[in-house]
């Protein structure tokens, strides 16, 4: 990946150095004004052991100062410990800070908190709770203890690591009106507009099922107004309207001269200025970040080393938490993510060519740098390259689109993003497609083979899935009593075979005697339970990727070993419901893509949907996993949020046509299904014999197209199509597949094929054909 370093602007053709930015909402870092009053400042150094500071109140439990720290001890959640600190009633907006150290915890779910706006010296109140296991999705909370003395948890998030024992972390809460910001070590982790019930009150500390120390307590009044929750970094940028399903996101380049209002992201070339401060496209980076805040997603292109700490500091100061950092140097991306793993990473491909060896190495480089997206110059891209990378869970952004024709070309390659200095071409191209246009068929994973047609998790089912043109074949792994990896979904063999018993209690010899086909049908009698090695060997070297789910614990090392033994590293993607397993896998073998399987409810309000999407994308980014959620868990805003930020994901398990079609229309790109046959006979794309036609007035031309049916074989066939024209202005007349020249000028003519898939109609459209008419 490391070669001659080039800026994006040297890759994207442009004539004028300019950059279109759009003013956002409240800007800059939020700091308490200098005139704010200090209400509490306590380091406990002058407080006698066994006591509390003057006027501090032990509400319940066990709390005292020991060795210069406030220590709260709680043996169980049923016996919490709480301390209150009085705050003058007139001060309800304040900044509350303290250092916290976990000494012990009953388990990782146990917690401690900063309480604020405490009423009646007891409850109700708000609190910032931190579990010892802060890396869990609910490791951090904004919660309310209500008037009925019950919990109401309205916001949750996670931190980049579990809080270690005997290690100090700095907590901060800013509460202003109904707005709340909660921080860990200076990182904004939770924002809420939920402090609506009480406008003032005391502060305090709590421990539940844990022993914790607090130190360096400080409370100051806060007279600034926090930005509205709508400007909380969870947003969907406005994009160009289109009828294309799952269109590429638009990233305006650093030399953009035209209208970038419909671009979702802005690419900023980051360098060190003469004064040592960071610049982006020739302007101070901090100014650029503030200018596009909550309007565009910043994409920082960095090629100069040793800027990582300054970049992260600049992001923190401007409260920019939704950002992508890209470089042709993987070390730079990794260094940035070491400082803040929530920052998304991407690689810029700067090679002069992209041959087979380069292509095979590229997914390994992307994943090992903890990235999910690669930026590739348009001249090096093809539909086959994009397809190869998609199957290995790499999002592809094409750099180019400097004309309308080249924009259409990138769209039809199936790229996920278009990096361009001419975003107006993308907006125009997007407008030229009819309703329900699929540029390419989605990447489809055959779930346990094709259980709608053959017994699940058998070689018969897997071979059928391959014959039905599955892009991926999904499978499940367990380990036998004598240490062999076998293919089985359940923990027991009871449901799918003629035997009984837990897999972990049976030897491979015993399992191989079972019939895994007879329960499905007589025609499959005698079908054995496959081993993982047999599964790998069957598809080695074939154009298919294996989506492997680890069902049992501690399989990671053995799975990697067997994949490597078969030379199959470039054909496997891993997933699991257990995030700890995926963390382990990424440490042992960071070159492979991993996915976190999960299912959750769908938020109801628009802002809650965006907040949830941001939290999950941050979570996936932090642990370098794809978000392989159940299809009921994701919704249109979530799917769009992931697409705009360069993240591909697979979603399970489609068994009904209607929700399958609905999710495809929402932009879902990676369905996992029991019914591979539903998509098998759908064409992939159209190929036209010509790209330009010259006609004289009064003459006509019949234009046909062929449909590609298979990524794998390149098979084509003649299919029924019709033409339509854009930018016509009376230049041509269209009837069916015939174009007639009417008057001098130029028209864009497209070939369209309408087909039925999932019992609904979809359109497949060719790249435009330029028709030039002369007298």
User: Which pLDDT score is estimated for 683?
Assistant: 87
> pLDDT digit string (tens) for 323-343?
999 999 999 999 999 999 999
Per-residue pLDDT band for 2 (boundaries 50, 70, 90) equals very low
Q: What is the pLDDT of residues 427-475, one digit of tens each?
A: 999 999 999 999 877 899 999 999 999 999 999 999 999 999 999 999 9
Mean pLDDT calculated for residue range 291-305: 96
pLDDT at residue 731 greater than cutoff 90? yes
Question: Which pLDDT score is estimated for 274?
Answer: 92
Bridge partners of residue 546, in order along the sequence = 473, 572
CA distance 376 to 397: 6
Nearest to 457 by CA among 674, 642, 290: 674
φ/ψ of 97, rounded to 5, equals: -125, 150
Q: What is the DSSP letter of 601?
A: P
Give me the pLDDT at residue 34, please. 52
* pLDDT bracket for residue 24 (50, 70, 90): very low
Any bridge partners for residue 643, and if so which?
none
For residue 9, pLDDT over 80 is answered with no
- Gap between the Cα atoms of 14 and 252, Å rounded: 12
* Residues identified as active-site: 447, 489
Return the higher-pLDDT residue of 36 and 647. 647
Model confidence band, residue 230 (pLDDT cutoffs 50, 70, 90)? confident
* pLDDT, mean of residues 177-185: 96
Average pLDDT over residues 503-516: 98
Query: Which pLDDT score, from 0 to 100, does residue 19 have?
Result: 27
Q: Measuring CA to CA, how many Å separate 55 from each of 40, 112, 126, 499?
A: 11, 22, 21, 70
Rg of the chain over Cα atoms, rounded to whole angstroms, equals 29
- Give the whole-angstrom CA distance, residue 19 versus residue 520: 62
| 502 pLDDT above the threshold of 60 | yes
Please say if the pLDDT value at position 396 is more than 90.
yes
Check residue 10 and give its pLDDT: 53
Q: Which pLDDT score, from 0 to 100, does residue 31 have?
A: 40
Full 3-state SS string of 417-483: EEEECCHHHHHHHHCCCCCCECCCCCCCEECCCCCCCCCCCCHHHHHHHHHCCCCEEEEEEEECCCC
Cα–Cα distance for residue pair 568/10, rounded to 1 Å: 37
DSSP string, 117-164: EE-TTSSSEEEEEEESSTTSTTSEEEEEE-TTS-EEEEEEE--SSPPP
Q: Is the pTM of this model over 0.85?
A: yes
pLDDT band, residue 6 (cuts 50/70/90): very low
| Overall average pLDDT of the 394-409 stretch | 97
pLDDT band at 365 (very low <50, low <70, confident <90, very high): very high
pLDDT at 8: 57
Q: What is the pLDDT of residues 667-705, one digit of tens each?
A: 999 999 999 999 888 888 898 889 999 999 999 999 999
Q: What is the mean pLDDT of the chain?
A: 93
């Amino acid at each position: 990946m490391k070669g001659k370093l080039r800026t994006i602007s040297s890759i994207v053709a442009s004539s004028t150095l300019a950059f279109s930015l759009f003013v956002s909402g409240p800007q800059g870092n939020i700091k308490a004004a200098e005139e704010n009053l200090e209400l509490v400042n306590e380091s406990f150094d002058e407080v006698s052991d066994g006591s509390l500071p003057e006027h501090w109140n032990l509400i319940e439990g066990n709390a005292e100062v020991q060795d210069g720290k406030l220590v709260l001890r709680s043996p169980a959640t049923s016996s919490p410990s709480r301390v209150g600190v009085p705050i003058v009633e007139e001060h309800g907006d304040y900044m509350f800070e303290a250092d916290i150290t976990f000494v012990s915890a009953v388990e990782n779910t146990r917690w401690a908190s900063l309480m604020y706006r405490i009423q009646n010296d007891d409850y109700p109140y708000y609190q910032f709770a931190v579990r010892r296991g802060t890396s869990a999705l609910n490791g951090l909370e904004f919660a309310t203890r209500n008037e009925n003395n019950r919990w109401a948890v309205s916001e949750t998030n996670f931190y980049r690591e579990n809080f270690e024992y005997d290690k100090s972390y700095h907590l901060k809460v800013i509460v202003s009106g109904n707005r709340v910001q909660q921080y860990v070590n200076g990182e904004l982790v939770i924002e809420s507009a939920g402090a609506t019930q009480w406008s003032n009150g005391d502060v305090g500390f709590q421990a539940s099922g844990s022993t914790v120390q607090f130190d360096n307590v400080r409370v100051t009044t806060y007279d600034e107004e926090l930005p509205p929750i709508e400007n909380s970094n969870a947003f969907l940028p406005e994009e160009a309207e289109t009828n294309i399903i799952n269109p590429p996101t638009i990233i305006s380049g650093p030399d953009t001269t035209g209208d970038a209002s419909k671009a979702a992201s802005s690419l900023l070339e980051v360098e060190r200025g003469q004064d040592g401060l960071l610049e982006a496209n020739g302007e101070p980076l901090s100014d650029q970040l503030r200018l596009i805040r909550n309007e565009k997603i910043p994409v920082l292109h960095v090629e100069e080393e040793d800027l990582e700490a300054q970049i992260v500091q600049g992001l923190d100061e401007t409260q920019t938490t939704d950002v992508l950092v890209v470089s042709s140097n993987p070390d730079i991306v990794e260094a940035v993510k070491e400082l803040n793993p929530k920052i998304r990473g991407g690689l810029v491909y700067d090679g002069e060519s992209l041959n087979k060896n380069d292509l095979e190495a590229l997914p390994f480089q992307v994943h090992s740098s903890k990235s999910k997206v690669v930026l590739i110059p348009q001249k090096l891209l093809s539909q086959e390259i994009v397809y190869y990378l998609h199957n290995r869970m790499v999002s592809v952004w094409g750099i180019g689109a400097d004309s309308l024709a080249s924009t259409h070309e990138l769209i039809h390659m199936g790229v996920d993003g278009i990096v361009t200095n001419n975003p107006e071409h993308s907006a125009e191209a997007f407008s030229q497609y009819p309703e329900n246009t699929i540029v390419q068929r989605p990447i489809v994973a055959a779930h346990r083979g094709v259980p709608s047609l053959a017994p699940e998790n058998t070689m018969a089912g897997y071979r059928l899935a391959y014959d039905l043109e599955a892009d991926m074949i999904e499978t499940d792994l367990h380990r036998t009593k004598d240490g062999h990896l076998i293919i089985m979904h359940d923990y027991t063999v009871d449901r799918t075979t003629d035997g009984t018993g837990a897999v972990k209690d049976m030897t491979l010899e015993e399992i191989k005697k079972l019939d895994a086909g007879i329960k499905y049908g007589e025609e499959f009698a005698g079908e054995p339970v496959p081993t993982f090695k047999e599964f790998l060997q069957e598809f080695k070297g074939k154009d298919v990727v294996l989506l492997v789910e680890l069902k049992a614990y501690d399989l990671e090392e053995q799975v990697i070993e067997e994949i490597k033994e078969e030379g199959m590293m470039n054909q496997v993607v891993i997933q699991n419901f257990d995030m700890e397993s995926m963390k382990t896998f990424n440490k042992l073998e960071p070159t492979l893509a991993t996915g976190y399987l999960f299912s959750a409810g769908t938020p109801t309000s628009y802002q809650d949907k965006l907040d949830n999407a941001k939290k999950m994308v941050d979570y996936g980014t932090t642990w370098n996993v794809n978000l392989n959620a159940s299809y009921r868990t994701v919704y249109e805003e979530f799917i769009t949020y992931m697409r705009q930020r360069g993240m591909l994901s697979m979603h399970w398990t489609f068994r009904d046509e209607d929700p399958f079609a609905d999710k495809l229309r929402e932009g879902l790109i990676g369905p996992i299904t029991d019914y591979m046959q539903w998509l098998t006979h759908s064409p992939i794309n159209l190929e036209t014999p010509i790209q330009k036609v010259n006609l004289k007035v009064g003459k006509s031309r019949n234009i046909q197209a062929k449909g590609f049916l298979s990524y794998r074989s390149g098979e084509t066939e003649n299919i029924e199509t019709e033409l339509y024209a854009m930018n016509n202005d009376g230049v041509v007349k269209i009837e069916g597949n015939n174009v007639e020249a009417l008057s001098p000028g130029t028209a864009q003519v497209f070939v369209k094929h309408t087909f039925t898939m999932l019992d609904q109609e979809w359109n497949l459209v060719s790249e435009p054909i330029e028709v030039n008419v002369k007298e």
